[in-house]
Amino acid sequence: MLEDMKSYRSYAAGDAILWRGEPLVFVASVVSGVASLSKTLEDGRTQMVGLLLPSDFIGRPGRTQIDFDVTATTDVTLCCFARRPFEQLVEDTPHVAQRLMELALDELDAARDWMLLLGRKTAREKIATFLDMLARRSQLNTAKGDSSAIGAALHLPMTRDQIANYLGLTLETVSRQFSALKADGIIDVSDRRSVTVKDLARLQDETGDDSDGGILS
């Protein structure tokens, strides 16, 4: 039984969970907190390439290494399984294999949206997209189908510096864009760790995205 193999691990904000190239001895799922995947250039410039929120999965069937670092962005608890028995489970149960494939494809779609953001969006569009993403996520986690993201305070799971690393900006630019969106009455920035969306429609107009989300055609 896989249940027997389950164990929990905790990491404090800022701790490394896995280094690039380190052998993957376990796979895990995020129980609480936020972790991030990041890549670094020779001279230290870094770019986040993924964000892991509760219920997200760490690990790749058939691979023993990863080529990015995994870091605890906030305090994080993981639910870990040893890799070998997990892979056995995947082989034995097609249903699980299929689910993992879906997860991989979802990650791929998210990565491609992020490529568009990194390559072509302006600083303001990047911030608007980021906040819109957080708003959608938090809406999912609270009442399903309740459209009251407006008015409710969004918790920012990261510092300005980490947001900058995620969006391919500097922390100063992130701060300035928050201020600008606030001055324009689109958001409110009370506490440094929370943002209130005052006008969701206008925020979404600022993302630069094609409005028809694939509904047409």
Neighbours of 158 (CB within 10 A): 19
Please report whether residue 25 would count as binding a second copy according to CB under 8 A.
no
Q: Pick what 86 binds: a second copy, DNA, none; C-beta below 5 to 8 Å, kind-dependent.
A: none
The two three-digit tokens of residue 143, written as one number: 């009442």
Residue of 100, 123, 153, 171 interacting with a second copy (CB under 8 A): 100
The two three-digit tokens of residue 148, written as one number: 């009251």
Residue of 19, 109, 192, 194 interacting with DNA (CB under 7 A): 192
Residue 21 to residues 24, 40, 66, 182, 195, Cα–Cα distance (Å): 9, 13, 6, 42, 36
According to CB under 7 A, which residues from 7 to 66 bind DNA?
none
CA distance 150 to 203: 11
According to CB under 8 A, which residues from 121 to 150 bind a second copy?
121
Question: Where does this chain touch a second copy (CB under 8 A) — which range of 2-10, 35-43, 76-84, 145-153?
Answer: 35-43
CA distance 89 to 87: 5
Q: Pick what 42 binds: DNA, a second copy, none; C-beta below 5 to 8 Å, kind-dependent.
A: a second copy
Alpha helices in the chain (DSSP H): 83-92, 94-120, 123-141, 160-167, 171-183, 200-205
Closest distance to a second copy from the beta carbon of 149 (Å): 22
CA distance 206 to 182: 13
Interaxial angle between packed helices 83-92 and 94-120, expressed in degrees from 0 to 180 and rounded to the nearest 10:
110
User: Of 135 and 169, which CB lies nearer to a second copy in the complex structure?
Assistant: 169
Please report whether residue 65 would count as binding a second copy according to CB under 8 A.
yes
User: Of 28 and 174, which CB lies nearer to DNA in the complex structure?
Assistant: 174
Residue of 3, 4, 146, 210 interacting with a second copy (CB under 8 A): 210
Residue of 32, 46, 141, 190 interacting with a second copy (CB under 8 A): 46
Question: Could you list the residues that contact DNA (CB under 7 A)?
Answer: 122-124, 159-161, 168-176, 178-179, 189, 191-193
